[in-house]
Amino acid sequence: MGWGAHGHGPRVWRVVIRALGVDPRERALLDDARALGITGVDAIRRADLVFIRGDLDDRVRARLLDELLVDSLLQSAVIDDAPAPERGVRIVETALHAGVTDPVAAEIMRAAALLDIKLDGAATGRRYDIEGSALSNGAMNRLARRLLANPVVEHWSLGEVTPSFADGSDANAPVDIVAIRDLEGSGLRKLNRERGLALDLEELRTIQRWFTSAGRDPTDVELETLAQTWSEHCAHKTFRAEITLDGGERVDTLLDQLRAATASIGAPWVRSAFVGNAGIVDFDGDLIAVKAETHNHPSAVEPFGGANTGVGGVIRDVLGVFARPIATTDVLCFGPADLDPAALPEGVLHPRRVRSGVVAGVADYGNKIGLPTVAGAVLYDPGFTANPLVFCGCIGRLPTDRADTNQPHVGDRIVVIGGRTGRDGIHGATFSSMAMDATTGDIAGASVQIGDPIVEKLLIELLTDAGHLATAITDCGAGGLSSAVGEMAAGIGADVELALVPLKYQGLAPWEIWLSEAQERMVLSVPDVGPLAELCARRGVEWSDIGSFTGDGRLIVRHRGHVVADLDIDFLHDGRPQRHLTGERQRPSTNELTRPLPSDANSVLLALLSHPNIASKARIIRRYDHEILGSSVVRPLTGARADGPGDGVVLAEPRSKSGIAIGIGVNAWYGEHDAARMAEAVVDEAIRNAVVAGADPDRIALLDNFSWGDPTRPATLGSLVAAVEGCARAAITHGAPFVSGKDSLNNEYLGFDGERHAVPPTLVITAVGHVPDASAVSSPDIKAAGDRLYLLGRSLAEFAGSHFDLVAGTDTGAGCVPAADPDAPTRYRQLHRALRSGLVRAAHDASEGGLAVTLSEMAIGGLLGVEVYLDTIASDYATALFSESAGRVVVEVASEDAQAFVSMMEGHAVEIGRVTTAPRIVMHPVIDVDLDAARAAFIGDDA
């Protein structure tokens, strides 16, 4: 039966929508339930719930089902009728908490209005019919909490759930004065903790002194503005800190080191680096914007929403330099999928749950918005169990007249376009700047954002036409309007009226409106609002003029005419005291150390091919549309059956001769041993992946993304310093400038054991390179029997952090991480010339698992065999097979082209074997594996 909202008001109608036939989500839920140790469940059936509030007659209800809610070819539905469960079936229903963004409900309201159907409200949820024996209420609640609902954003019921609608009070929420001037150190710390400001004591005292000199205490709006602007997430305090290492060694700030590397390279094709929302490069008149972000903490507490809005946020970063997005990337790091649920830390979601939510969130945003997700990686490690890492990237293309102009003018109007403002995302910047503990999920609900890709798609289309109408633009991301307007107002000042900001619902306090990180919003500086308003009306994008840029050097924020914040803009951006940090210089081993070769090398190879970090990611990759827009020339899956692994990818416009290549480098296991060599290795890997796909090694730009633990711990800071120094050296060596980056620190979890658990030091490098000829590209899968196989690069006994050590049980930490090869840049240039000359049939970089895995992957993709001779590679077989030395590429060349290829490589290519028709992977004298067995190990459940 229907019911009134909270017992009164318009009637609420309940719609239960089920898929016709087999719903693949149900099998996945059952597999996850069993993997999580939830026993007694035989089947799970899922239905979608829609709650409609309004006075609806029979005709209107029929129209809702037929014209709006149900696809009769794929779904069936009932309205205002909850079928009684069958015998032996229990019910769990879920719905979103009040205030959590519900984009499906918003689209229902919008579509109903277009159909001239008047509704008072809509909300969505899910229904699960659980079949099983002896399912007690306790077991059902465990199933709901661990798998079916996320308490951070949802509530559930064993039976019919009561929906929440976005109502809210229309009361004029007060502005609080925060008494700070008379607080001592303990009082400041308490204030910091209670308000979640994520500031240190010296920063709090600096704020205290400023307001003391002003003769007043701050409003909550002012204090929250300073906290988000000075947060680690926004201010990059560690990367701007003064750092002293043990022994008194001073180092340049980390940000200055990266900037200095780019400046020393002096690439004339770099148009913008380390300023604005994204880096910009000019590849022969093709202006490309690039950015990569992290969304780690939000993805830990609400995986779908965290990853979903990570994608949406980085797309808006590219929009924030007037570029049109053309592709996205993602690198995902999870705990082991087979983790024993009993070993799960308190308050932490199981890695299977995190993975399913994150992958769904990435797929939902990219697929709905119509952008291909083309490159990335998926890593598994126990260190990511409580702190999953989600790296989202975006590439865009700019009009040639917008690369150097993004500055507001005095007198310009401040216009907000896109989504409405709600409580979602409040404190997101400060929340992401703190370590998490077992209570994080209980308190972080307001820090979780929910995306609406349809609204963002409208923004993209609008800004394609409206870019010339604005003098400046920025994403309304971390810190919300506070950050967006505050940053744009740097050096000039602004005056804003919060009552003009469109809200999702009433009752928000001024500081909540100002700090909300509600998604799909952009802020523009506009000389004349009229033409923009006309375009917004045509595109169906909401807009609001909320103030102006003043030129008086102050940030004035009003609410219904009353000043709720008055800050000096220079103090806001430059008043934060510089941090002084102490680190311990890393002193890792640089000694090579051979490993014994196990007696059964075949089993080691198969174990490596099936290892979660090496095995096929096709099941995840195929969740993403990587073909949309028709520009994918080299794809993430390659080979005869499109199930072989790719290296870099290549995008090219249908009528363009040139294109761009994208490569990714990441290896957290090296970071635990030697952060400097790890950084050099992943820079090399990203560049190598782009080059083997077709990129010109002299036209490659880099993005850096650091995810580390607590930088106030000296050992952690020391490893971060080493990684930055490695990045700078590698960039200079390769002549590849950094143009943008992001750090995500404090990726730690404070468990009930009282110990902090940090992620492995994880650096993701994205390389974006110019492909001068999009027809001269390559993929890793071998092409023809009889072709020759060549190895470029040296193979040394460098095993620390290797996957061979993980699989063979020799992971003692002894030996060294692979060192950078100084000859690699020369080889890459020679390889690029050979590729453009048509001499390369296939090329594959050697990374995790060494050459044995590299050659196997080439064979798996090409459905052909390989026969190689290990004595041509290294003096011992373990090194020849499983070392992960940097800078290496295996190249397939037709026999008739062999002499020309060897000549072009100028002594940097060693012939190691041939492609065969026999479906075997033979590496004389120790490995002989059937190709089908190798495919089964690598592809596994993805077959």
Q: DSSP H helical segments within 287-424, as ranges? A: 296-301, 303-319, 351-369
CA 601, CA 184: separation in Å to the nearest integer? 66
The alpha carbon of residue 928 and the mean position of all alpha carbons in its chain are separated, in whole angstroms, by 39
Angle in degrees, CA 189, 191, 197, rounded to 5: 90
Spell out the residues 6+ positions from residue 187 whose beta carbon is closer than 8 angstroms to its own.
none
Q: Identify the bridge partners of residue 473 per DSSP, sorted by sequence position.
A: 524
Neighbours of 867 (CB within 10 A): 18
Cβ-based neighbours of 23, under 8 Å, separated by 6 or more: 45, 46
Report CA 719 to chain centroid distance, whole Å: 23
Sign of CA dihedral 242, 245, 251, 254: negative
Residue 820 near residue 940, CB atoms below 8 Å: no
Phi then psi dihedrals of residue 716, to 5 deg = -65, -45
Q: Is 908 a catalytic residue?
A: no
Contact 396, 740 (CB under 8 A): no
Q: Give the contacts of 116 (CB within 8 A, at least 6 positions apart).
A: none
Helices assigned H by DSSP within 427-503: 428-431, 440-443, 453-466, 480-488
Between the two ends of the chain, the Cα-to-Cα distance in Å is 45
With beta carbons less than 8 A apart as the criterion, state whether 531 and 448 touch.
Answer: no
Mention every residue, 6+ apart, whose C-beta is less than 8 A from residue 479. 228, 229, 231, 234, 428, 429, 486, 515, 517
What H or E segment, with its residue span, contains residue 525? strand 521-526
Known catalytic residue at 233: yes
What token pair was written down for 638? 């390659």
HSE-up (13 A, CA, CB side) for residue 555 = 26
In 635-660, which positions are buried (b, 16+ CB within 10 angstroms) versus exposed (e)?
bbbbbebebbbbbbbbbbbeeeebbb
The sign of the CA dihedral 710, 714, 716, 721 is positive
Question: Which residues are bridge partners to 554 per DSSP?
Answer: 568
Torsion over CA of 645, 648, 654 and 656, rounded to 10 degrees? -150
What is the longest distance spanned by two Cα atoms in the chain?
85
Active-site choice (295, 559, 803, 832): 295
Distance CA(324)–CA(142), nearest Å, equals 45
- Rounded Cα distance, 726 and 892, in Å: 31
Write out the DSSP string of 627-688. Answer: SGGG-EEE-SEETTTT-EEPSSEEE--TT-S-EEEEEEEE-HHHHTT-HHHHHHHHHHHHHH
In angstroms and rounded to an integer, the radius of gyration of the C-alpha atoms of the chain is: 28
Residues that are catalytic: 233, 295
